[in-house]
Amino acid sequence: MISFLLLQQIAKLFLILLLGFLLVRFRLLKSEDSRVLSVVTLYLVVPCTIVNSFQIEFTRDRVQGMLLSFGTAILIHAIYITLTHCLRRPLCLTPVEQASAIYSNTGNLVIPLVLAILGSEWVIYSSMFVIVQQPLFWSHCRILVSGEREVSWKKVLLNVNILSVLVGAALFFLQIPIPSIVKEAMSSVSSMIGPICMIVAGMLMGNVDFKAVLCRPGVWKVAALRLLAYPLLILSILKFTPLSALAPNGETILLISLLAAGTPTAFTVTQLAQIYDKDGEYAGAINVVTTLLCLVTIPALAALYQL
């Protein structure tokens, strides 16, 4: 049932993506105009969604679920980083390809899917994946793509998503309620996350030469790792080990972790490749292909998990 709901929700999101694509193709907007929406998403919509997800009752079951989700996110990233390091020479993976295989588009895709299918009270578990991923974006991922070895911990710790999680977690553990009018406003903003992320993705695809993209064999190599090989390994671990018994509703929590592990390549990889002039167009091509293919792979992963 969840796999069918996922297929429906992803199909809806892709229709919205198509609208963003058409805005650029019909020259009503430029692809670069998506930067404004990206800023709105990064600094307003995602933080509101994360903080709002922590506005739930403090219970022992929820804390156990958060710890399970957090530990699973660490395990997934450790496996992805280790596997990619081992495969980089046999598969001749470039730094951009390695980063694209490791890092997923959790914030922009999984959060809206969880919100639509399971409800706002479950978003807190996808936020645990964000907590683990964000520091890695600005340390390991940046080093991998740029080739530099210095880490700006100030940028890591002051990242808006990390701050949002810390604020939300503090409100949750101290059980400090947000005033109802503020909470309703945040909920309204949070409901925008799916549509606005897909419009941005569609606009970014507006100038893509799909023929050239599809002819690059490396794109398909990374897509196979990112959407099939790695998620299927994680699926086996989550399904055939007793991890789900570590917390109430463990199976659903691990499903959220699996969805986060199987999403398309993180757009942050494309942004870093553009910033450091490391084949940003190629990174964007990988992002486009994996985003399109996940319409099939994510529901299939959910169906296999539920068998």
- Residues 269-286 have pLDDT tens digits of 877 787 787 877 788 788
CA distance 260 to 268: 15
- Which of 132, 111, 133, 131 minimizes the C-alpha distance to 122? 111
List of long-range contacts for 194-198, beta carbons under 8 Å, 24+ apart: 194/12, 194/13, 194/16, 194/112, 194/113, 194/115, 194/116, 195/13, 195/16, 196/37, 196/40, 196/41, 196/45, 197/13, 197/41, 197/108, 197/109, 197/112, 198/13, 198/14, 198/16, 198/17, 198/20
Average pLDDT for the chain:
86
Q: Which two tokens stand for residue 76?
A: 């997934």
Confidence (pLDDT) at 101: 95
With cut-offs at 50, 70 and 90, classify the pLDDT of residue 1.
low
**Stretch 89-113: mean pLDDT:** 88
Is there a contact between 268 and 141 (Cβ–Cβ < 8 Å)? yes
Buried b (16+ CB within 10 A) or exposed e, 195-204: bbbbbbbbbb
pLDDT tens per residue, range 222-261? 999 999 999 999 999 999 999 999 999 999 999 999 999 9
CATH code for residues 2-306: 1.20.1530.20
- The predicted structure's pLDDT at residue 84: 96
**Section 60-75 average pLDDT:** 94
* Per-residue pLDDT band at 97 (split at 50, 70, 90): very high
Domain boundaries, the chain: 2-306
pLDDT at 159 over 80: no
Query: What pTM was computed for the model?
Result: 0.85
Of the candidates 50, 73, 85, 75, the one whose C-alpha atom is nearest the C-alpha of residue 160 is 50
pLDDT at residue number 283: 82
